């Protein structure tokens, strides 16, 4: 049913036949709520807009070094120490409400607990509690030596107490999210901190690893990953799929040495031309595409640490580039035969160093709509064929209460075909 301005009346179809199905099963957005807090009402609006676009996975990057807003029933000290304020937390009832809200709109919430790096705030209480150092190098300077951005922090994998804490976190997440997939993070592990920690050096030496080389620290990291996975399996009661980011464990064609391809899904965040994509694909891993050169929506803003004109992944990524980024073509470009069972789909990511709930909608939409069409139909046509529809769709989003950025002057929308080069 639609309104016709020229006829000044409603037009209604008497019957219709619709044949429609998605090209990819995993069509998502990653929302980071650690660096800056995003309130429950704003998250609900994001889920609303996702449902309008047939996006079906809300990947929730819930914690990081900056804050720990997740209120764990079994480990309440994490949020007590790590939240920005008592009001900037997600309580169990908030999460249950959001999971139900998303489910009835066809959206699955997938929690991510990123480790062993990307931890810091909230982990300071270990020694006071008689549990030793749970996290190392928290807020340590100079930060570029120990992490990719301030503040620093990394878990202590040789402290057995860390695994009981992780077990409690995983149990709480399972109780609340009931997701059939779990994201364990696992990216940007800097070995400098571990290399300066006597407790870790002693642990390596006791196992005959005296070089303190990259291989030695990959051995330690694999130990942590395997122990953590055991706790995930206990918490969830089954061996469900686990997602990890591309990282030191997956580079140089070594992923199958450290990770089981039958268990792990790898989420790609390197460039779309990175050879590790082809290596992982040939090794048989299932992949989720989030290559930052097309699907990182925080790119193109100014520096937030120090001076300089642009942030690390600049330039800004327009909806046209989002639309052109086809997971199928990424694989074919490596001279590989595309296997739809291996490429699950993709996600766009909005890391929140420079965005919070006040501005997030405009940074997500309408670019997320371009992502949605790419993952639903994966059309052979390019962005030019979609431009007119994109302008119309942006107007529909605004009419439905989504603060989507404008794509062009309204004149272009009213005079289709004139705003081309």
Supply the residues annotated as catalytic.
188
How far is residue 89's CA from residue 330's CA, in Å, rounded to a whole number?
Answer: 38
How many CA atoms does the CB half-sphere of 123 hold within 13 Å?
Answer: 31
Contacts 24+ apart (CB under 8 A), 413-417: 416/388, 416/391
Residue 215 exposed, middle or buried by CB count within 10 Å (0-12, 13-18, 19+): exposed
Q: Which contiguous run of DSSP H or E holds residue 32?
A: strand 26-32
Contact call for residues 126 and 114 (beta carbons, < 8 A): no
Backbone angles phi, psi at 276, to 5 degrees: -65, -25
How far is residue 341's CA from residue 216's CA, in Å, rounded to a whole number?
Answer: 34
Structure tokens at 294: 């097309």
Contact call for residues 354 and 304 (beta carbons, < 8 A): yes
- Rounded to whole angstroms, what are the CA distances from 147 to 51, 72, 190? 36, 26, 6
């Amino acid at each position: 049913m639609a309104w016709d301005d020229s006829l000044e009346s409603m037009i209604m179809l008497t019957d219709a036949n619709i044949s429609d199905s998605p090209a990819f099963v995993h069509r998502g957005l990653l929302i980071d709520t650690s660096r800056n807090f995003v309130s429950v009402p704003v998250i609900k609006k994001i889920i609303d807009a996702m449902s309008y676009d047939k996006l079906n996975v809300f990947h929730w990057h819930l914690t990081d070094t900056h804050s720990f807003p997740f209120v764990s029933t079994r480990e309440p000290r994490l949020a007590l120490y790590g939240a920005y304020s008592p009001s900037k937390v997600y309580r169990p009832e908030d999460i249950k409400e959001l999971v139900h809200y998303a489910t009835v709109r066809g959206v699955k919430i997938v929690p991510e607990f990123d480790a062993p790096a990307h931890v810091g705030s909230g982990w300071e209480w270990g020694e006071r509690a008689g549990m030793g150092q749970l996290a190392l190098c928290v807020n340590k300077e100079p930060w570029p030596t120990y992490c990719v951005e301030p503040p620093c922090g990394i878990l202590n994998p040789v402290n057995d107490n860390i695994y009981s804490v992780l077990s409690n976190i995983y149990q709480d997440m399972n109780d609340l999210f009931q997701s059939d997939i779990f994201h364990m993070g696992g990216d940007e592990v800097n070995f400098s901190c571990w290399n300066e920690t006597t407790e870790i050096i002693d642990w390596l030496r006791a196992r005959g690893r005296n070089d303190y080389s990259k291989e030695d620290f990959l051995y330690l990291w694999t130990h942590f990953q395997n122990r953590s996975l055991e706790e995930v399996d206990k918490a969830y009661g089954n061996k469900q799929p686990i997602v990890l980011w591309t990282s030191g464990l997956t580079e140089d064609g070594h992923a199958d040495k450290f990770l089981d391809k039958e268990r792990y899904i790898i989420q790609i965040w390197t460039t779309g031309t990175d050879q590790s994509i082809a290596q992982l694909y040939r090794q048989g891993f299932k992949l989720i595409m989030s290559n930052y050169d097309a699907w990182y929506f925080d790119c193109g803003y100014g520096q937030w640490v120090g001076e300089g004109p642009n942030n690390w992944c600049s330039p800004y990524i327009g909806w046209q580039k989002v639309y052109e980024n086809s997971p199928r073509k990424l694989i074919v470009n490596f001279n590989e035969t595309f296997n739809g069972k291996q490429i699950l789909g993709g996600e766009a990511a909005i890391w929140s160093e420079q965005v919070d709930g006040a501005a997030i909608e405009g940074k997500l939409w309408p670019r997320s709509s371009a992502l949605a069409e790419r993952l639903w139909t994966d059309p052979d046509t390019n962005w030019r064929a979609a431009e007119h529809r994109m302008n119309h769709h942006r107007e529909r989003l605004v009419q439905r209460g989504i603060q989507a950025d404008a794509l062009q002057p309204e004149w272009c929308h009213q005079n289709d075909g004139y705003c081309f080069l």
